[in-house]
A = this chain, B = another copy of it.
Amino acid sequence: MASVEAPAVTPEEARRHATGPTAGLADGYTQANLIAVPRDWAYDVLLFAQRNPKPCPVLDVTDVGSPRTVLAQHADLRRDLPRYRIWEHGELTAEPTDATGYWRDDLVAFLIGCSFTFESALRQAGVPLRHVQQGRNVPMYVTDRECRPAGRLHGPMVVSMRYVPAHLTDTARDITARMPAVHGAPVHIGSPNALGIKDLDQPEFGDATSPHDGDVPVFWACGVTPQAAVMASKPPFAITHAPGHMFVTDVRDDDYRVF
A contact residues vs B (CB 8 Å cutoff): 42-43, 46-47, 50-51, 58, 61, 174, 177-178, 180, 184-185, 258-259
Contact = CB atoms under 8 A, between A and B. Distances in A.
B258 A184 contact: yes
Contacts of A42: 43
A8 B50 CA distance: 32
Contacts of A185: 258
Given A50-B58, A58-B50, A61-B51, A259 B177 contact: yes
Copies held by the complex: 2
A61 B149 CA distance: 12
10 contacts: A46-B46, A46-B47, A50-B50, A51-B61, A174-B259, A177-B259, A178-B258, A180-B258, A184-B258, A259-B259
A185 B255 CA distance: 13
Contacts of A43: 42-43, 46
A51 B46 CA distance: 12
A47 B61 CA distance: 8
A64 to B, nearest CB: 9
Q: Which of A50, A174, A177, A185 has the most CB of B within 10 A?
A: A50
A259 to B, nearest CB: 5
Given A42-B43, A180-B258, 8 more contacts: A46-B46, A47-B61, A51-B61, A177-B259, A178-B259, A184-B258, A185-B258, A258-B258
Nearest to A174: B259
Contacts of A258: 177-178, 180, 184-185, 258-259
Nearest to A179: B258
Contacts of A177: 258-259
A78 B61 CA distance: 31
Nearest to A173: B259
Contacts of A61: 47, 50-51
A178 B174 CA distance: 12
A27 B61 CA distance: 36
Contacts of A178: 258-259
Contacts of A58: 50
Contacts of A174: 259
